[in-house]
Structure 1
Amino acid sequence: MPDQDIIALLLQLLAEEKQIDQAIAIDIQPQSNWDGQWQYCSLNDVASLPFDQRYDLAIVNLIKQQAFEKKHEKLEITNTIIDNAVVRMRDLFAKKIIVFASLERTKQLRALGFNQLSEIVPDDSPVQIWQFNILTYKHVPDWFNSKFWANPENWDKFRW
């Protein structure tokens, strides 16, 4: 798991971007030096989490889940749980999501619309940091404006 100092630095950078008032940590215990109100939840409990508020930030630790997979050999069931939890966080609970994952999750997270922020290479195994921000998920294309669509002022001038 990434060092807590790296997580604190990442949170500080995100807080400079926009203040974090309410956040949720999944399989990472919130530290006392993290600003805002933090709620803790395990990855398995996300499916039963009631939708009563939207958080500014969600931090998800998938490294802990990978260690569980190696011990119990339940890869398909675990992938379904992870997909459901991450999608539920992305769609319902958080405006911005930070995910700590191993290299094996690259295709899975990219398919869910996440962007890779960085890669940390500790002694034992590399950890990738991914983000999903609904505000920067899809840039509006240049052609998607009224200039290129049906303009009422041109209806009598041109024939399509």
Structure 2
Amino acid sequence: MNTAMAQPMTETPQERLAAILDSHQPRSIVSVSLNPIPVVSQWCKDHDCELIEIQEQNPFKALEDIQRIDMAIVADQLEYMTHQEGEALMGLLRNLHTDSVVAVYQPALAPQKLRWPSNGFLALGCRQQGHFAQDGRSLDIYSYDLDDYNFQRNWNNPRFWANPENWGKYWW
């Protein structure tokens, strides 16, 4: 039996979020959360990273003044927005402000009518970075990164085309 599979996951959500930050090494972060995110604040202090915190129920107005940044983190926010507003927030961050978005979502905090469907983040192009459950509560971490969103397909090259000599010559 594989012992790595038999051992329970001991990583905490804070450690997972710090690992994501370590892997990206952003120089600027916008945090959209109703409450401060201590692990992000500490990481920014330790790594000389600019942190912009937006702690408003409706963050759209505050985002109008934000220029392009390296990473956006959304936590303790989507649980209190409609799914349509949440998608608009994630899309605005992803399409206008940054190439990398991390969402921390706790479904139990959201009223039933505001809960995201299980594939809601995946539909936005996010990948699940972690699922944490303890004492009947759960927390999910999703990330979107433009650099690895659209992976390279091995069939998309001249070798697999009917006329490889025409690769890159014509645009239909």
Tell me the CA shift for residue 116 of structure 1. Answer: 0.6
Letter in 2 for 1:44: N
- Of the candidates 43, 48, 55, which is equivalent to residue 34 of structure 1? 43
Matched, 1:146 2:158: yes
> Would the alpha carbon gap of residues 131 and 19 (structure 1) be closer, same or farther in structure 2, given more than 3 Å must change?
same
Which segments of 5 or more consecutive residues in structure 1 lack a partner in the other structure?
A: 70-77, 154-160
CA distance in 2 between partners of 1:152 and 1:6 (Å):
51
Contact 1:54 1:94 in 2 (8 A): yes
CA distance in 2 between partners of 1:25 and 1:52 (Å):
11
* Map of 2:147 onto structure 1: 135
Matched, 1:25 2:27: no
> Would the alpha carbon gap of residues 15 and 114 (structure 1) be closer, same or farther in structure 2, given more than 3 Å must change?
closer
Deviation above 6 Å: which 4+ runs of structure 1? none
> Would the alpha carbon gap of residues 123 and 116 (structure 1) be closer, same or farther in structure 2, given more than 3 Å must change?
same
Query: After superposition, where does 1:46-85 map in structure 2 within 5 Å?
Result: 46=60, 49-50=63-64, 53-61=67-75, 63-66=76-79, 68=80, 78-85=82-89
Matched, 1:93 2:136: no
Q: Percent identity?
A: 19
Tell me the CA shift for residue 95 of structure 1. Answer: 1.8
Give the secondary structure class of the aligned counterpart of 2:31. Answer: strand
Letter in 1 for 2:99: K
Tell me the CA shift for residue 13 of structure 1. Answer: 2.0
> Would the alpha carbon gap of residues 82 and 18 (structure 1) be closer, same or farther in structure 2, given more than 3 Å must change?
closer
Which segments of 5 or more consecutive residues in structure 2 lack a partner in the other structure?
A: 1-11, 108-114, 167-172
What is the root-mean-square deviation in Å for CA atoms of aligned residues?
Answer: 2.7
